[in-house]
Amino acid sequence: MPTPMESFINEMRDLFLPDEVYIMDGTKEEAIRLAEFAEKFTIDGRVVLKKLNWQKYPNSYHHSSNPNDVARTEHLTFVCTPTQEEAGANNNWLNPDEAKNKMNNLFKGAMKGRTMYVIPFVMGTPKSRYAKNCVQVTDSIYVALSMRVMSRIGKQAIERIGNCSDFFRGIHSIGNVNPDRRFIMHFPQENLVMSFGSGYGGNALLGKKCYSLRISSYLGKQEGWLAEHMIIIGVQAPDDKITYFLGAFPSACGKTNLALLEPVLKGYKVWTLGDDIAWINIGDNGKLYAINPEAGFFGVAPGTGMKTNPVMMKTLKNDKFFPTLFTNTAVNNSDNTPWWEGICDEIPSDLTDWQGRKYSKDLGQPAAHPNSRFTVSIYNCPTLSPEYDNPYGVPISGIIFGGRRKDTIPLVYEAKDWESGVFIASSLGSETTAAATGKIGAVRRDPMAMLPFCGYNMGDYFQHWLNIGKKVKELPKIFMVNWFRKDEDDKFMWPGFRDNSRIIKWMIDIIEGKVDAVESEIGLLPRLDSLDLAGLDIDKEVVEKLLKVNKDDWKKEIEMIEEFYATFGDKIPKELRNYLVELKNRMI
Ligand code: SAT
Ligand code: MN
């Protein structure tokens, strides 16, 4: 009798008709062999991997994708629940049978002449009861190698799966990278994702957003836990005590920089546990514990440099894990290293842009694609927390939400209780930047930074958050931050980056009851003298402005939140609707 995993592989072989089936064992030798093969192998007329300078960037390769395939395609991403209501206004929906027919037609024979890579993997450290078993098939060697970096693949997963049929099934083929035949279909009820026509990270590394957020958020709802788009950090204070935080930020708010922060404050240190996804469970003692299901960073390259994120630069140059991949970055030909805008101040003279053309400033385009990425093991990270592989996860004392807002939202405030914290998170907004499509500067609502990643109706999701709050014994404190407030001259008032550690210190002091806060209409604000601003050149008046709650701004904010809530109809929990009414009354 074949095991359920073997049956799945057989079924996939019969569907895709590959020339060969290769089951990954997850060893370094295997990865080296596959990478060497990928250096000679072409897809779409492009060599899959090009070796970079290993003296400067050990184990590194460059990959260019099809120019039509450089980001997640939200409009082609579907949640296929039995009813549309389950998927909610936050998801594109298709009937599951219709979706499967469509995908099976695309999949039929799609791997003729190709190898089907079978990737057994575990999300989370295999020893953990919170970890989940998964199997992905793919015909992309780039995807197969990326999955080795981002998760625990191979033998350890095969052993964990054993004879079980309870594992996530991820079915992927890059097809012929045709944007008209590109779909990412989620079937939460069946623990299944089907993806066709894209080789890009979030569309193709199915353990990442597809499984660890969309499918897992649904599982979490069923099983009483949370799958969140959050960083996990431990902040060590001068007394050596470590306080663990989660943090959720929409894109372009410096989320990864915070995950790898070097605090400006003496005696403080940030330990990194995750930069993107947290699975949060209620531990045996009734407190919240978080694990990072991933094993690597899939980060945006542009803007990453020694000034903005020195720890990430060191991570990228570390030689611990094979391989490190750079996708759609430029290449500096003088020393064969990856290059992108923001890595340093000077533009090298001999640069190849992300599409393989000789770079010239006159083209008026960046050399690296704005969404170019690095894929690097978390074990390369010099600030990796010793608790990263702890099967129970780390106990969470604070949850930080943040957005990019030039006005309205103070530098920091604390939610009075869990419910108001859920309200703050549910109405999280951030201004769009040039990197995102659409109007620059418009406020886009992105509850819990989960809008594109919640695999079920967002109204039910808010209710699930409220329910978790009722079950947890010692709830973490919830904070809202805004590093991006501007003055009348359109200048940022707060320095940001390493100075954000001053705000984290205040949070730790609040958690430990060392300082108290001032009540306001929106929550609890810091007292001016409880912020550690030593050595920072900032006027008292500026800090006062940073912390100001302006009622006129808030009246507009509340109107916008009302409009946003309306898109979910009567699915918004009554606790949140009531809170909004109370807030409105406080602004009169
Ligand atoms: O491609 S991912 O979804 O993993 C990253 C992103 O686009 O946010
Ligand atoms: Mn993300």
CA 520, 522, 524, 526 torsion-angle sign: negative
- C-alpha 258/C-alpha 66 separation (Å) is 31
Q: Is the distance from the beta carbon of residue 208 to the nearest atom of ligand 1 less than 6 Å?
A: yes
pLDDT for the residue 514: 98
pLDDT for the residue 440: 75
Ligand nearest to the CA of 373: 1
3-class SS at 554?
A: helix
CA 418 to chain centre: 23
- Largest Cα separation within the chain, whole Å, is 74
Residues annotated as part of the active site:
253
- C-alpha 64/C-alpha 556 separation (Å) is 44
C-alpha of residue 231 to centroid of ligand 2, in Å: 9
pLDDT for the residue 79: 98
DSSP state of 348: P
Q: Where are the domains of the chain?
A: 4-26+69-224, 228-295+388-549
Ligand nearest to the CA of 231: 2
Q: Is the distance from the beta carbon of residue 483 to the nearest atom of ligand 1 less than 6 Å?
A: no
Ligand nearest to the CA of 249: 2
C-alpha of residue 262 to centroid of ligand 2, in Å: 21
Low-confidence ranges of the chain (pLDDT < 70): 434-438
What atom in ligand 1 is closest to the CA of residue 251? 8
pLDDT for the residue 17: 98
Protein residue with least CA distance to atom 2, ligand 1: 202
What is the CATH code for 4-26+69-224?
3.40.449.10
Protein residue with least CA distance to atom 7, ligand 1: 72
C-alpha of residue 85 to centroid of ligand 1, in Å: 26
Protein residue with least CA distance to atom 3, ligand 1: 202
Instruction: Characterise 288 by phi-psi region: left (phi > 0), alpha (psi -120 to 50), beta (else).
Output: beta
Q: Which of 214, 44, 50 is nearest to 139 (CA)?
A: 44
pLDDT for the residue 433: 76
Q: Is the distance from the beta carbon of residue 573 to the nearest atom of ligand 1 less than 6 Å?
A: no
DSSP state of 54: T
Tokens of 554: 């808030």
CA 33, 34, 35, 38 torsion-angle sign: positive
C-alpha of residue 201 to centroid of ligand 1, in Å: 6
332-350: per-residue pLDDT in tens? 999 999 999 999 999 999 9
Protein residue with least CA distance to atom 1, ligand 1: 202
C-alpha of residue 456 to centroid of ligand 1, in Å: 19
Protein residue with least CA distance to atom 4, ligand 1: 202
Residue with tokens 């359109």: 490
Task: Note the pTM of the prediction, 2 decimals.
Answer: 0.98
Tokens of 502: 């001053």
Q: Is the distance from the beta carbon of residue 202 to the nearest atom of ligand 1 less than 6 Å?
A: yes
Give ∠ CA 32-34-37 in degrees, rounded to 5: 110
What atom in ligand 1 is closest to the CA of residue 200? 1
Q: Write down how long the chain is.
A: 588
Ligand nearest to the CA of 435: 1
Domain 228-295+388-549 CATH assignment equals 3.90.228.20: yes
Distances in Å between the Cα of 515 and the Cα atoms of 478, 524, 532 are 16, 12, 12
Which amino acid is present at 190? E
3-class SS at 143?
A: helix
Protein residue with least CA distance to atom 6, ligand 1: 202
Q: Is the distance from the beta carbon of residue 201 to the nearest atom of ligand 1 less than 6 Å?
A: yes
CA 147 to chain centre: 15
407-453: per-residue pLDDT in tens? 999 999 999 999 999 999 999 999 987 654 557 789 999 999 999 99
Which amino acid is present at 299? G
Q: Is the distance from the beta carbon of residue 209 to the nearest atom of ligand 1 less than 6 Å?
A: yes
C-alpha of residue 324 to centroid of ligand 1, in Å: 17
Q: Is the distance from the beta carbon of residue 502 to the nearest atom of ligand 1 less than 6 Å?
A: no
